[in-house]
Structure 1
């Protein structure tokens, strides 16, 4: 189904994939770190079963369901993608707290350079660890990076099963509305 052998996926460990960024973004989505499938393909949220792309569409950020290989199209909608930690792993729990904190410092510098209106971190635990905000909850955060507001979103991984597709789309939709992004579904 994926077209990659276990050995090919393992060979993608520690790879870094390029961000999808530009100046003037409405929302910069920030994953935890690339998985091995993403690293093998060079595409964000590429693992089958990851709900990022469906949720992005269901919440109105995109006019249709995009595939990972169409990630560059996000820029036309004022959207981008980056990660807290750049290196690929099989699971996020392979990352140390120090990697998350260093990732938070690097992410802050990236946001200061690109200056999106909103930074949307998909994964509350990653946000808490990267920014030292242990009591943060899903939703808009008090912290800002310069003029950039921050919103913590649920992790769209299929492993985060207690968040349904519909509930995630609703939360992403709240961000879309607050960010002033039009509903592009149609």
Structure 2
């Protein structure tokens, strides 16, 4: 079963219906609208993981809508769909932050595969961001890892000693991290 919230914005009733049924059948939560103004209102009201936009729609056109959505929902993946595809339009859409470009007519399986790729890329991007945030917290002193209160005291001591001009002698058993602490002291000190 697929996971993700999808917004489909296309003024062609038949295509919109096929996409909505196809994505629902694949297990996605789908909202389908027929114009750019409604699509913008929906995108502002609730978060979507993937947004499929037709380039030519009543109200707001797809490229203008793409720019507005990227401003409001930068983490949403946006795919531009069009029957009037040119290389210039595709390049413009990608430069404005579209994940990909789907030229009409296209097969439902092609749209489902592209959606799966876009949602996977979104999840991976979120995972990387989360891991980077976690690493930033844990790796505050380079290769020293740990959140235990004892390690927190070691970090504080390194900070205090690095801020001073005293000579340091590190003693301890083999494998206890003397070299790692020495590197941290060197990195954070003015010496």
Q: TM-score, normalised by structure 2?
A: 0.38
Q: Select the structure of larger CA radius of gyration.
A: 2
More helix by share: 2
Q: Which has the higher contact order (CA 8 A, sep 6+)?
A: 1
Q: TM-score, normalised by structure 1?
A: 0.39
